[in-house]
Chains A and B, each alone.
Chain A
């Protein structure tokens, strides 16, 4: 008899997404939704969508959502959480949103130990606007605004968000994962479960940085993009649990 091995999580709506073929946003959305389902909090969750590729995440997550101004999702989430402290509140943000225009908001949400969870999708480039340099773009990486490659003397250095936020006492759970293969997808799911548990147990701010691909703006096929991520991003952005209420191995 046929057995169901996988089905669309309840936390995802039936809307058809606008993401490019091969983009890993879909996988990451699915993982977040699975976590909310499995933790039994979906109908008590409010998500906050960013500006960037995930701007229409409010159409895809099957829970109440607010769409924030560019970079301000952690502030919006703070307002929601302080009003409804027993609900689960998460932000879903890209690297431009979180690590450039929204740096102040994420740092202070973490510093306050705000009981929210940030899902931080890092693909090293601005996707929605067509492939500009992000704060996380690697040195030498070609983008539309670094056509000769990112040069440190002009553009400075890529920001390691997790390492930076891990220095803050209010940040309780900080981990970097990737969705570049099945094994890493499983690890990413576990990290997200731990991040949401951190929030549910009121232990403070939690963030999961997910290394992700942008085949369209990297100019690579989806499979080439996954290989590029492994070969170039992971050496610079090590996959690690930096902080956890349950201790780091």
Chain B
């Protein structure tokens, strides 16, 4: 099929439907409202269900119920709404319910603003809710990549019985780009049947219970260690990243999502001035990629994490570099977008100071 011009929020909804999602529960919040509108119109056409909940708290518990009943289910929100869902996400991980959660990030803290931001990195990757938990967090840089990621996100969720979060931002949700909806690769994973789903005992062997409570510390520790094994497998199998012009780079930027595209422009601008700059673009924010740092650390003079935050991913960059080279930071926040000329000025400043 030819490319179509689509808004990011609508494209991600369509991609989820094409990935087999037939259930969507949500609550209005800017800048992701087009997802709800799109799903409200499209899902009935494909025999699915759209339901507007009375709050994000209720919506995340609706997807808990639907996912627990075996549905392939999508939920989307934006930063303050995602905060309200944190309790539910902790329960969903604890009860091992697969689903895809999309955060179209906006500026915070508190009510914040409605312009693009990347200030929910900690919340997404370090477990915003209570308890020891992780989920695979994917950060596409374009609407096409967001569409391409959706099938994989649902399949990863089903394979590990764990939610997957896609981190977009207000820029990606609101802008329109040409997108090929047929491009995503078809499902290739051999997914386990959902024999655990609560569909009624007439429909499966035994009695199924979806639950995260265990009052025995012996059993609860075992449950946590079983979950840890899944996180270890995810860390081994689900790392995604792109390396852009890193081969002979003196300075390597680390950026994801919208910011990574801005950095790519900056790299071209830097090249015209004879500055060799590269980019490590984590596509999986968790598990965070270690390999590209190990490959570049001997050659690079310094790294710079560029984010729409006051410095969150930079902590993981420091862990990955582990003191071997300086790690700098440049960020804009509150809905302000980094500009290539300002990133480049910072890069020049760093290179001037690095021997």
Interface positions of A (Cβ within 8 A of B): 13, 42-46, 48, 55-56, 58, 62-69, 72, 75-84, 87, 104-105, 107-108
Inter-chain contact A75/B58, CB cutoff 8 Å: yes
**9 new A-B pairs (CB below 8 Å) besides A56-B213, A65-B207, A87-B200?**
A64-B201, A66-B95, A67-B210, A75-B61, A76-B62, A79-B67, A87-B199, A108-B54, A108-B58
Inter-chain contact A83/B207, CB cutoff 8 Å: no
Inter-chain contact B61/A64, CB cutoff 8 Å: no
CA distance in complex: A182, B19 (Å)? 55
> Which residue in A66, A84, A104 is a CB contact (below 8 Å) of B55?
A104
- What residue of chain B has the Cβ atom nearest to residue A47's Cβ? B198
Contacts of B23 in A (CB 8 A): 79, 82-83
CA distance in complex: A81, B25 (Å)? 13
Contact status of A104 and B66, CB under 8 A, knowing A46-B200, A87-B199: no
Contact status of A67 and B209, CB under 8 A, knowing A43-B202, A72-B61, A75-B65: yes
Inter-chain contact A64/B64, CB cutoff 8 Å: no
Contact status of A63 and B66, CB under 8 A, knowing A83-B49, A104-B55, A108-B54: no
- Segment at the A interface, from B34-42, B68-76, B289-297, B333-341: B68-76
- What residue of chain A has the Cβ atom nearest to residue B208's Cβ? A64
CA distance in complex: A107, B55 (Å)? 12
26 CB < 8 A contacts A-B: A46-B198, A58-B209, A63-B207, A65-B208, A65-B209, A66-B64, A66-B65, A67-B95, A67-B209, A67-B212, A69-B87, A72-B88, A75-B57, A75-B58, A75-B61, A75-B62, A79-B23, A79-B66, A79-B68, A80-B198, A84-B199, A87-B200, A104-B55, A104-B57, A105-B58, A108-B54
> Which residue in B59, B201, B211 is a CB contact (below 8 Å) of A66?
B211
- What residue of chain B has the Cβ atom nearest to residue A58's Cβ? B209
Within 8 A of A (CB), among B199-234: 199-203, 207-213
**Is B91 in contact with chain A by the CB < 8 A criterion?**
yes
- Of the listed residues B61, B87, B212, the one surrounded by the most CB atoms of chain A closer than 10 A to its CB is B61
Contacts of B67 in A (CB 8 A): 79
Nearest Cβ distance between residue A228 and chain B, in whole angstroms? 30
Contacts of B351 in A (CB 8 A): none
CA distance in complex: A66, B91 (Å)? 11
Contacts of A76 in B (CB 8 A): 61-62, 64-65, 68
Nearest Cβ distance between residue B333 and chain A, in whole angstroms? 32
Interface positions of B (Cβ within 8 A of A): 23, 25, 49, 51, 53-55, 57-59, 61-71, 73, 87-88, 91, 95, 198-203, 207-213
- Interchain Cβ contacts within 8 Å, total number: 130
Inter-chain contact B198/A66, CB cutoff 8 Å: yes
Nearest Cβ distance between residue B40 and chain A, in whole angstroms? 14
Inter-chain contact A79/B207, CB cutoff 8 Å: no
Contact status of A77 and B65, CB under 8 A, knowing A64-B207, A104-B54: yes
Inter-chain contact B213/A78, CB cutoff 8 Å: no
Inter-chain contact A82/B61, CB cutoff 8 Å: no
Contacts of A87 in B (CB 8 A): 199-200
- What residue of chain A has the Cβ atom nearest to residue B66's Cβ? A79
> Which residue in A44, A55, A66, A105 is a CB contact (below 8 Å) of B200?
A44
Nearest Cβ distance between residue A131 and chain B, in whole angstroms? 20
Nearest Cβ distance between residue B143 and chain A, in whole angstroms? 28
CA distance in complex: A13, B201 (Å)? 13
Contacts of A66 in B (CB 8 A): 64-65, 68, 95, 198, 209-211
CA distance in complex: A68, B95 (Å)? 10
CA distance in complex: A75, B64 (Å)? 9
Contact status of A84 and B200, CB under 8 A, knowing A69-B87, A75-B61, A79-B25: yes
Nearest Cβ distance between residue A61 and chain B, in whole angstroms? 9
CA distance in complex: A106, B91 (Å)? 20
Contacts of A81 in B (CB 8 A): 65
Inter-chain contact B200/A64, CB cutoff 8 Å: yes
Contacts of B51 in A (CB 8 A): 78, 82
Contacts of B211 in A (CB 8 A): 58, 65-67
Contacts of B66 in A (CB 8 A): 79-80, 82-83
